[in-house]
Structure 1
Amino acid sequence: MSMYDEIEIEDMTYDATLQIYHYPCPCGDRFEIGIDDLRDGEDVADDLPKPEGEADAQPVAVAA
């Protein structure tokens, strides 16, 4: 799996309603990772789903 960048969790924005951390990608996309994923040991944030016909962006590694 290739990574775009490593981001510290402190640099991400937390959305308490959705219980996710998110971070803007320079390409205009947004990467997110949920609290439950972090608790399960996941440390890679996935890009949001793209509309049909658009290429997927690369995931971002985050320090948990």
Structure 2
Amino acid sequence: MGAYYDEVEIEDMVWDPARKVFHYPCPCGDRFEISRQQLRDYEDIATCPSCSLIIRVIYDPLDYEDDDEIEKSEDETDSESSEETFEDAMEKLAL
């Protein structure tokens, strides 16, 4: 690929924790998106889901190298807190 709409540094993008993507405004009104997984896999192209524009993301791949370990620990923490919430709810349940 050679025709990028723009080159954007990752620091200029916004992290969306709910969707787990970085995003940046697109001229069409939507937004370019790229996930941490893509960055970890050395992909540097963020796409807009509404149009054909793409941007190149400038970042240091080494910053995302250890994300697998971080995501696993976050997933474990989320599942533990869900289990605790369920147990708490069961204790408070009165029939």
TM range (shorter): 0.7 to 0.9
For 2:27 and 2:18, how far apart are their aligned partners in 1? 25
Deviation for aligned residue 1:17: 1.7
In the alignment, which of 58, 65, 73 is matched to residue 63 of structure 1? 58
Q: What's the TM-score, normalizing by structure 2?
A: 0.56
Secondary structure of residue in 2 paired with 1:62? strand
Where structure 2 has 5 or more consecutive residues not aligned to the other structure, the ranges are 60-95
Flag as ranges the 4+ runs of structure 1 deviating above 6 A: none
For 2:20 and 2:58, how far apart are their aligned partners in 1? 17
Amino acid in structure 2 at the alignment position of 1:63: I
Where structure 1 has 5 or more consecutive residues not aligned to the other structure, the ranges are 51-55
Deviation for aligned residue 1:40: 0.5
Q: State the match for 1:43 in structure 2.
A: 44
Q: State the match for 1:13 in structure 2.
A: 14
For 1:59 and 1:9, how far apart are their aligned partners in 2? 14
Bigger helix share: 2
Residue deviations 1:2-58, cap 9 Å, x none? 10000010000101122100000133231000010000000110111x3xxxxx331
Find the structure with the greater CA-based Rg: 2
